[in-house]
Structure 1
Amino acid sequence: MYIVDDICYAGEETPDIKVKEARALRGGMLLLTFSTGEQRLFDTTLLKGSAFEPLRDEKVLADFIIFHGVMTWMNGDIDIAPETMYAESYPYTARNVSAAVLRMGTE
């Protein structure tokens, strides 16, 4: 439990998570660098719902913008909260992913 502006919240206070850098990889994967400095892999093929269907096309997946720490596609029609991307991704520590990179972008 924690309190912010005299409001009590359940759970643990977490820092604001933002996507600082992203690389679109083959197979629907994104290599993300978060504001925490961590690099993590996010699998877009696990996203459910028709809203995310366009991301199955690697050209669409690679055509992203990072806007205020949030990844967006198709002029903002598709976005994924950075907190979700962080929670549903896993740590990545390898140094060389150049063979799998489709596109790289930064905020």
Structure 2
Amino acid sequence: MIKIVKAEYLEHKIIRLWFSDQTVGDYDLQPLLDKQTELVTPLQDEVYFKQFFLELGALCWKNGLELSPGNIHNKLRQQGKLQTDLKAA
């Protein structure tokens, strides 16, 4: 099971994610925020957005939003945005 082991805010709703399989990718959350659902609306605020944390390998916010590491990993792989983290290998 893929888990997120480290997350770092980059810019403009993009978070760099390191996964348990020694891959890394930059995840742009703007398409998710554009859906303007109840759980993602608070993330429009940059200060709130930056308050993400990892819980059991998932990307989370204190309002209960939890993003599956497996789904994020698959999206990044399909978009060609997943790379092997040479520093971790």
TM-score, normalising length from structure 2?
0.76
Shift of residue 25 of structure 1? 1.7
Structure with greater proportional strand content: 1
- CA-based RMSD of the aligned residues comes to 2.1
1: CA distance between counterparts of 2:66 and 2:45?
15
**Structure 1 segments unaligned to the other structure (5+ residues):** 1-15, 94-107
2:79 is aligned with 1:88: no
1: CA distance between counterparts of 2:5 and 2:17?
8
Q: Deviations over 1:41-62 (max 9, x none)?
A: 1111011341212222221121
Number of residue-to-residue matches in the alignment: 79
Shift of residue 92 of structure 1? 5.2
Identity of aligned residues (%): 26
Structure of higher CA gyration radius: 1
- Partners of 1:60 and 1:74 within 8 A in 2: no
- Partners of 1:19 and 1:34 within 8 A in 2: yes
2: CA distance between counterparts of 1:19 and 1:66?
7
The amino acid of 2:52's aligned partner reads F
2: CA distance between counterparts of 1:68 and 1:57?
25
Q: Which runs of 4+ in 1 moved over 4 A?
A: none
- Partners of 1:24 and 1:31 within 8 A in 2: yes
1: CA distance between counterparts of 2:48 and 2:24?
22
The amino acid of 2:71's aligned partner reads T
Q: Which residue of 2 aligns with 1:28?
A: 13
TM-score, normalising length from structure 1?
0.64
